Structure 1
């Protein structure tokens, strides 16, 4: 079972690769459904593919926007430009895009979750059109996934296991288009489903009624976040070939922690250590709760009914991402001070508590460092810091 992690930027690609991903998925500047992810130029894509390949990690290029007539030539151009770089797959959702990719490239084609594949007959059709993998719709149960794999064992099956869920059917939503003129199917979703809503009865204009009992309104469309780590063994037994972490617009810290923890869990399952996996589920989930997230759910994979979070659309942030150790220096993301109690998170998936003794910038000691500063940090206990180590602190 492959672990597939998000790579919104070159830095996040490096983090995903070094923290244990078997493969990463990323987007180019257009056509990839994540307008705010940073995304890759052709030059950056080549650099990223080379970095991943040296470490035996696959790279899948996402081109899964829904295409209109005016997009077709641009899509074809993108396929032709990227093909010589030899990514391991293109991820597409549009059937016209699938046809263009198949005609203009020999790169394997994966069908995006945006295509809403929910049954084995649909999988058969995509197979006949040249697809080698299906990213199944998030709305399927484990038993439904198992049946699809049993019917078509030769097709690779990919399933989302962690990250944000959409209130619409696998992302097919027009709320954002209607309310903020930002096209969710072209990567510009404003997440209108997570806004606060009231109901107004048409004969009592101006009188607003809460949909739920919360005096601050309700977040009736606001989904919890997916966390299927406790179900990894069942997904493995169902024949799932790849498990996917959502989050190309999330931080390098998020990518590091989710990748490292899912890597540990998958390794235990692959090694046949089922009991140890079950014993450590609580510990794993506790670590996953240290990244920015909404309350977790196992989504449609089980019969859990509480998929919406009515109280607020805000993230739970128990820890603050302070910086990343990159190219021999700390790159600061949030303000830090000398004397601060902090934690270091390492590639192996464990953390170590320590304290900041000194901060130096341009060989001069400073009391605090701000975002985008590049500094050297001396920690209590003289800890050796490997490349891409994460620095964080608990939020009280």
Structure 2
């Protein structure tokens, strides 16, 4: 079972690979349905694919926008340019995009969750059209996923397992387009569903009423975040080919932790299945340390409400401080000598310690300092001896 992580930028691509992803999905500047992600130039994509392939990892290119007539020629040129870089697949939602790609290259085609595939016959139809993988709609249960895999075993099946969920059916929402002019189906959603809403009674114009009112208000469209970690063994048993983490606009820290924890979980399920349940509380505790809304297992099994009415804010229990690359720490948030911190490793383990010394790298000089600030490059010494790890994260309880 492949672990597929988001790569909104070149840095996130490399972090996802380093922390355990088998494959990543990335978008170019157009047609990728994530306008706010950094996305890739052709040059960056070349470097990213080269880096991933050097570590026997795969890169899938997201081209899942729904095309307009005036974009067809640009889309063809984009496909031709990207195909030369030898990616491992294209992810599309538009059937016209599928046809264009199939006529121009033999690179495998994956059907995006935006196509909301929910049944066996649709999977068969896409198979006939040349698709090699279906990213199933998030509305399906474990039972329905199993039925599809058994009925069409030759088709690769991919399932979302973690990240933000859209309140609309398979992400087909018009709220943002109507209220802000930013089209969710073109990659620029304003997340209008996260706002606070009121109702108006037709005979009482101008009188606004909160829904499910309490002193905090309510957020009736605000979905919880998906976390299928407790059901990962079930997806493995079904024979799901790839499990996908949402988040091309999420942080480097989010990408690293989700990749490492789900990698650890899959390895346990594959090699020591009895150990998975025993380690599940630890894994869930670690995944709780990233920024998230309250978790749900979504439509896979959870029978509870998917919406979170109390707030639209995130749960943030930890602050990301720095990323270590080859023993040099790149600082993202300030911290000081004496601070209590956690070091998070690529194998999903962490260790609690204190910062003993901060040495700033400034040109050819190394200067000992008491406090590190964002964009500093530093070397660190801890009260706990840490060595032999080229890539690590530093974090701190909030």
Alignment TM-score, normalising by the size of structure 2: 0.97
How far apart are residue 385 of structure 1 and its match?
A: 6.0
> Where does residue 365 of structure 1 map in the other structure?
368
Listed one character per residue, the Cα deviations across residues 76-99 of structure 1 (whole Å, up to 9, x for unaligned) are: 111100111110000001011000
How far apart are residue 292 of structure 1 and its match?
A: 0.4
How far apart are residue 137 of structure 1 and its match?
A: 0.3
In 2, Cα distance between equivalents of 1:250 and 1:387: 23
> Where does residue 225 of structure 2 map in the other structure?
225
Unmatched 5+ residue regions in structure 2?
none
| Residue 393 (1) aligns with residue 392 (2) | no
In 1, Cα distance between equivalents of 2:276 and 2:215: 42
> Where does residue 88 of structure 1 map in the other structure?
88
Question: Residues 62-77 of structure 1 correspond to what in structure 2 (within 5 A)?
Answer: 62-77=62-77
How far apart are residue 328 of structure 1 and its match?
A: 3.8
> Where does residue 26 of structure 1 map in the other structure?
26
Unmatched 5+ residue regions in structure 1?
none
In 1, Cα distance between equivalents of 2:77 and 2:100: 10
In 2, Cα distance between equivalents of 1:320 and 1:222: 24
> Where does residue 342 of structure 2 map in the other structure?
343
How far apart are residue 367 of structure 1 and its match?
A: 2.4
How far apart are residue 376 of structure 1 and its match?
A: 2.1
Listed one character per residue, the Cα deviations across residues 221-265 of structure 1 (whole Å, up to 9, x for unaligned) are: 000000001111111122211000111111111111111111111
- 2:122 counterpart SS class: helix
Question: Residues 126-205 of structure 1 correspond to what in structure 2 (within 5 A)?
Answer: 126-205=126-205
Listed one character per residue, the Cα deviations across residues 175-214 of structure 1 (whole Å, up to 9, x for unaligned) are: 1111111111111111100011122223223322121132
Residues 161-170 or 210-219, more deviating: 210-219
Residues 366-375 or 58-67, more deviating: 366-375
> Where does residue 58 of structure 1 map in the other structure?
58
How far apart are residue 303 of structure 1 and its match?
A: 4.1
- 1:300 counterpart SS class: coil
Kept after mapping to 1: 8 A contact 2:296/2:302: no
Residues 232-241 or 205-214, more deviating: 205-214
In 1, Cα distance between equivalents of 2:56 and 2:368: 40
In 2, Cα distance between equivalents of 1:339 and 1:207: 55
In 2, Cα distance between equivalents of 1:264 and 1:394: 22
Kept after mapping to 1: 8 A contact 2:327/2:391: no
How far apart are residue 305 of structure 1 and its match?
A: 2.3
Kept after mapping to 2: 8 A contact 1:198/1:217: no
- 1:356 counterpart SS class: strand
> Where does residue 10 of structure 2 map in the other structure?
10
What is the RMSD computed on CA atoms of the aligned residues? 1.2
| Residue 288 (1) aligns with residue 287 (2) | yes
> Where does residue 382 of structure 2 map in the other structure?
379
In 2, Cα distance between equivalents of 1:307 and 1:287: 22
> Where does residue 246 of structure 1 map in the other structure?
246
In 2, Cα distance between equivalents of 1:27 and 1:327: 27
- 1:85 counterpart SS class: coil
| Residue 300 (1) aligns with residue 299 (2) | yes
- 2:299 counterpart SS class: helix
- 2:185 counterpart SS class: helix
Show structure 1 runs of 4+ deviating over 6 A: none
In 2, Cα distance between equivalents of 1:30 and 1:387: 34
Residues 137-146 or 377-386, more deviating: 377-386
In 2, Cα distance between equivalents of 1:284 and 1:167: 27
- 1:309 counterpart SS class: coil
In 2, Cα distance between equivalents of 1:48 and 1:100: 24
